[in-house]
Amino acid sequence: MYPLVVVLGVAALESHNTVWRTVVPLSVVGASIAGYHSVLQATTASCTFAGPCAVVQWQAPVLGLTIPNLSLIAFVLVTITVLAGSNLVEPEHQL
């Protein structure tokens, strides 16, 4: 997630229309890892509040989502937003 901040920040400052080529692979890899962690957390019996992965068992007060679930949602939203924004921008025409 951290490299995306730099990549999207530079793209916003310099008005790069093709930033999706860099962002989508990064966010898809991040979503894959977050999805793996979410499945691992849901299916592992030793992952309890007293177990080795107690830190990721923290749940958001509103929806009860854990940290891996929140990161998965964030990566999916970044991917959707960048892809939707890339389709809306028309390439500049030179005269």
**83 with 24: CB under 8 angstroms?**
yes
Q: Copy the structure tokens of residue 53.
A: 């992965």
Question: Mapping DSSP to helix (H, G, I), strand (E, B) and coil, where does residue 30 land?
Answer: helix
- Give pLDDT tens digits along the chain (95 positions): 888 899 988 988 988 888 888 899 999 999 999 998 888 877 766 656 665 565 556 666 667 788 888 899 999 999 999 988 876 555 565 55
Contact 27, 75 (CB under 8 A): yes
Q: What is the pTM of this model?
A: 0.73
Please enumerate in sequence order all residues whose Cβ is within 8 A of that of 16, keeping only pairs 6 or more positions apart, or say none.
Answer: 10
